[in-house]
Amino acid sequence: MQQAAIMVAGVRRPARRSLVDGKAFPYLLILPALALEALLILYPIVRGSLVSLDPGDGTYGFDNYSLMFADPDFWRMLMHTLTYTVSVDVIILIVALAVALLMNWDFPGRGAVRSILTVPWAIPDVPVAITFVMMFDPTFGVFNRLARMLPWIDHNQSWLLDPNLAMAAVILVTVWKGFPFYSLVLLAALQNVPDELYDAARVDGAGVFGQFLHVTLPGIRDTIALLAVLAFIFSTQQFTLIWLITGGGPVDATTTLAPAIYMQAFRFFNFGYAGAFAVIGFLISAVATLAFVVVQQRLAREP
């Protein structure tokens, strides 16, 4: 009996070892995550792509794409998307980096200031949008009160009625709402830059700007690259703030991809056409992610 047990154990042990220690084990571990990804991400992408090929009569073809590429509204919307996305991306990173650098300094009350700075990020989009709409009101809004203090402004601005100002307004709100997240991530990265590097730089005669350029920036460039991609993807997908603040207007000056998809699908019931827009949005995000991977690999190869 004992012998039999030893034999069984002896037979089973290598099999268990091959499962646990073998090459298949990592794949088994990620299988649940992959299955969820396939179900919740991949399947909707495939279904969405198929919907984009249906012009509404149950057949498949490229009619929606032909219509989309011939539609001047689509190209204008794409330009608005790029304007909004690139502006948010650049401004939010500059603001976030500036704030992170300030927060990295040692000063009394730093903890409290850090906590306060996260407030915009913690407030839900809807109250933020409603509050800013009131602040932008041409007659009663606080922005005009502030603007009128400037000597060269002698009349109230119609912030959300002027196409250029409206785009600037939604960019401003998006940056205000989002910068704390980027600041916190950059702050964490800044704290990982070794102090010895700054000491060495100072010994080599580097000033504050020199230290920033040759120590700080190279030390956090991977984080900046990741945040740039995240900011790009998040702002490509931004819907709530734009929709609630401007509704995509005036005219269509702030209609980016996400509001355009929503309008086509759920206001105009052109699901196929909305699907074609969504595929373009997916491709834009995919290209951004790919670019990030390439940049990250290049940076990793650099000494």
Partner 1 sequence: MPKQPRIDRVNSASTSAGLSRRGFMAATAALAAGAALPIASRRSFAADRIKLKVMSWEQFQPGEKDGWNALFDKFNQSQSKYQVEWTGWPVAQYEANVVIQAQAGGIDADVLMALPDLAAQMIRKYKNVEPLDSLVSELGITPSGGHAYLRQDGKLYGLSAIDVNFALVYNKKLFADAGLKPATTADEWVDTTAKLTKRPDQFGIALINTIADGGEWWFQLQNFCLPYDGMWAQGKTPLANSPETVKGLELWKKLYDAGAPQGTAEGGVMKLTADGRVAQAFGVNPTIVVLKATNPAIYPNLLSAAPPWESKRSLDRIHPLMALKTSKNVDGAMEFIKFAMQPDVMADLMEANSYVIPPYDLASKSEKFKAYLADKPWISGYNEAKQVSPIDVMGDFAFVDDQFGRIIMQNLQSALQPGGKSVKEAMDGAQRQLEALAKRL
24 vs 130, beta carbon nearer partner 1: 130
AA letter at 148: R
89 vs 252, beta carbon nearer partner 1: 252
Q: How far apart are CA 194 and CA 192, in angstroms?
A: 6
Q: How far apart are CA 255 and CA 82, in angstroms?
A: 11
Nearest approach, Cβ of 86 to partner 1 (angstroms)? 24
Q: Tokens standing for 204?
A: 């080599």
**Cβ atoms within 10 Å of 254's Cβ, excluding its own:** 26
87 vs 144, beta carbon nearer partner 1: 144
Closest CA to 215 of 225, 226, 204, 231: 204
Do residues 241 and 88 touch, judged by C-beta distance below 8 A? no
Do residues 163 and 250 touch, judged by C-beta distance below 8 A? yes
- Structural element, H or E, at residue 241: helix 240-245
156 vs 289, beta carbon nearer partner 1: 156
AA letter at 139: T
Residues contributing to the site for partner 1 (CB under 8 A): 130, 133-134, 136-140, 158-163, 243-252, 263, 266-270
Nearest approach, Cβ of 279 to partner 1 (angstroms)? 19
Q: How far apart are CA 271 and CA 266, in angstroms?
A: 8
Nearest approach, Cβ of 76 to partner 1 (angstroms)? 11
Burial tier of 38 (Cβ tally within 10 Å: 0-12, 13-18, 19+): exposed
Nearest approach, Cβ of 62 to partner 1 (angstroms)? 16
Nearest approach, Cβ of 157 to partner 1 (angstroms)? 9
Do residues 112 and 118 touch, judged by C-beta distance below 8 A? no
62 vs 266, beta carbon nearer partner 1: 266
Whether the link from the prior residue into 250 is cis, omega within 30° of 0, is: yes
Nearest approach, Cβ of 151 to partner 1 (angstroms)? 21
Q: Tokens standing for 194?
A: 């070794």
Nearest approach, Cβ of 156 to partner 1 (angstroms)? 9
137 vs 222, beta carbon nearer partner 1: 137
157 vs 289, beta carbon nearer partner 1: 157
